[in-house]
Amino acid sequence: MGLGGISSNDGLPETSLDFMTEKLLKLKEPFLQSFNPSAKSRKDRINRVIQLIEENSDALHTAISKDFGSRHEQMSQLTDTLATVSHAKHVLKKIDQWMKPEKRKARFPLNLLGSSAYVQHQPYGVIGIIAPWNFPISLSLGPLVEVFAAGNNAMIKLSEFVPETSKLVEELVNKYFSEEELVVINGGVETSSNFTSLSFDHLLYTGSTAVAKKVCAAVANNLVPVTLELGGKSPVVIGDKVDMKKSVQQIMTGKTVNAGQICIAPDYTFIPTAKVDEFIDNARDFVQTSFPTLKNNPDYTSIIHLNHYERLNALVDDARSKGAQIVELNPANEDFSQQEYHKIPPTLILNPTEDMVVMQEEIFGPIMPVKTYENFNDVVSYINLKPKALALYYFGNSKEEINRIINDTSSGQAVFNEWGFQYAYDDLPFGGVGPSGSGAYHGKEGFKNFSHNRAVVKAQKLLNLWSMVGAPYTEKTDKAAKRF
Ligand code: NAD
């Protein structure tokens, strides 16, 4: 399930494996001497990430717009660059606290003899970061901030779908960082695939579930531990006592910001049968107000590439051919058959069935299947039968339903009466579960995820406990066993 298999090699030459291997060795060099970079040096690096973004934000936004064909600079600023800077500032405030060793109880009776125990958070070493194209800054430099906070060096591979942004980030990183700290690698799928064969100390992969399987197979060779930030089908459940207008505004924002090309975008909606018409009317009003026109409106983002445009249109055609009712939210009744920027109007798919591809794969675009229900139990069972989602959204105010979502379902995140802002809760871990990801970043969990949490035991004096419990096995050891 999920995306993957869609590729683009427009304009980025591949980078050789030899070149990457050489760069990796350079990045590993500092760890030949120490695994204890100071808080000061970690903060300095994070400050340089902030500086890189702030001093070059216009150029970054222009490059992103160029890569998308059409994406508003302010959208990139709010969701991509500013989001990263604000997160970096949060991490800066927390580093000293996060770096502190965590005291643990020493084992009885050694504690009585002065032994102590703690968890030391030390860097893994060099962390590889593979990023997707949808928020190219926030998903590359965002996790980098935590990778640096944990004291690591990093090598980043940006997506070939955003060649202008990737080239600019490489250029800027070379200006703001030394090659003993951070390296950016560019290229297509061949480069990405070779990247996963490198012996990193940890790899963060953000992308589709389909490609994640290839990544896991590749890293197995070197037993590189991985964090997987994936996607999937994040459901929205509209429940009882719902404020439909405000809820639909949020839900359809999730399908129209970046044209729904967001990992935590609502994928499909569950709604009580009696409320479908109200949902459609509110969705229509929302689009009419936010995007009176779509095709040449710079506020409405393009689909990233012709391949994805064709994939999304094929989802709608497939659903239509299998009997779904298609409702195009196209306020100015524009003709989308001939256009420069691969735009797709927000589209509702009513009465979707399980044999439709749109209900089997992550959508990652402005298409919203709307499923109806009569009984909330059926919603819970449906969600639990499907692969665990990255996010699960509930809109409504029934305490009972909210408790059922919290207690009886599983997902990376559970979000109530809000869409998308969970990513901005800097203190909460951000990640999936099972097929939507493993490991997380953001918050203390993120710091720990990019740290080796090493067990340290310190005996106060040199005790030879083994003299009590080791061979020769006599009455003396028997007594010791009984005492334990
Ligand atoms: P993708 O899986 O096609 O590509 C992601 C990255 O993987 C790219 O840099 C690409 O070069 C690289 N890649 C491609 N083939 C590879 C291979 N064989 N080996 C190693 N690397 C390879 O995903 P995408 O289209 O760029 O992004 C969309 C997907 O990412 C969606 O599924 C979305 O849900 C997910 N996503 C998840 C998060 C999250 O934080 N959980 C955030 C954004 C996007």
Q: pLDDT digits over 285-330, tens only?
A: 999 999 999 999 999 999 999 999 999 999 999 999 999 999 999 9
Q: What is the pLDDT of residue 413?
A: 97
What ranges do the domains of the chain cover? Answer: 2-231+437-457, 235-426
Task: Return the amino acid letter for 94.
Answer: K
pLDDT value at residue 326: 98
Q: Is the CB of 364 under 6 A from ligand 1?
A: yes
Ligand 1 pocket: which of 8, 12, 14, 134 to mutate (most atoms within 8 A of CB)? 134
| Reported confidence tier of residue 2, pLDDT bands at 50, 70, 90 | very low
Nearest CA to ligand 1 atom 23: 207
Tell me the CATH class for 235-426.
alpha beta
pTM attached to this predicted model: 0.95
pLDDT at 171: 98
Q: Is the CB of 214 under 6 A from ligand 1?
A: yes
More confidently predicted of 339 and 126: 126
Q: Which of 208, 228, 255, 257 should be mutated for ligand 1, with most atoms under 8 A from CB?
A: 208
* Residues belonging to the active site: 229, 263
207 Cα–ligand 1 center, Å = 2
Pairwise CA distance, residues 276 & 254, whole Å: 18
Distances (CA, A) of 282 to 233, 245, 288, 358: 23, 6, 10, 22
CA 40 to ligand 1 center in whole angstroms: 33
CB contact set of 151 (below 8 Å; sequence gap of 6+): 35, 36, 37, 42, 122, 123, 451
Residue pointed to by tokens 């692969």? 387
pLDDT above 80 (res 210): yes
The mean-pLDDT minimum among 41-45, 175-179, 476-480 falls in 476-480
Q: Which of 233-237, 413-417, 466-470 has the lowest mean pLDDT?
A: 466-470
Contacts of 310 (CB under 8 A, 6+ apart): none
The answer to whether residue 64 scores a pLDDT higher than 50 is yes
Task: Report the nearest atom of ligand 1 relative to the CA of 412.
Answer: 41
Query: Within a 10 A sphere around the Cβ of 238, how many other Cβ atoms?
Result: 24
**Ligand 1: distance of its center to the CA of 372 in Å?**
31
| Cis peptide bond N-terminal to 472, omega within 30 | yes
CATH of domain 2-231+437-457: 3.40.605.10
Does 452 sit in the ligand 1 pocket, CB within 6 Å? no
Which atom of ligand 1 lies at the shortest distance from residue 362's CA? 32
Question: Does ligand 1 have an atom closer than 6 angstroms to the CB of 80?
Answer: no
pLDDT for the residue numbered 99: 98
The answer to whether the beta carbons of residues 23 and 154 sit under 8 Å apart is no
400-413 pLDDT per residue, tens: 999 999 999 999 99
Average pLDDT, the chain: 95
DSSP calls for 319-360 = HHHTTPEEEE--TT----SS-SS-----EEEES--TTSGGGT
What pLDDT score does 9 carry?
58
The structure tokens 């449906």 sit at 382
- Residue 437 in contact with ligand 1 by CB distance below 6 A: yes
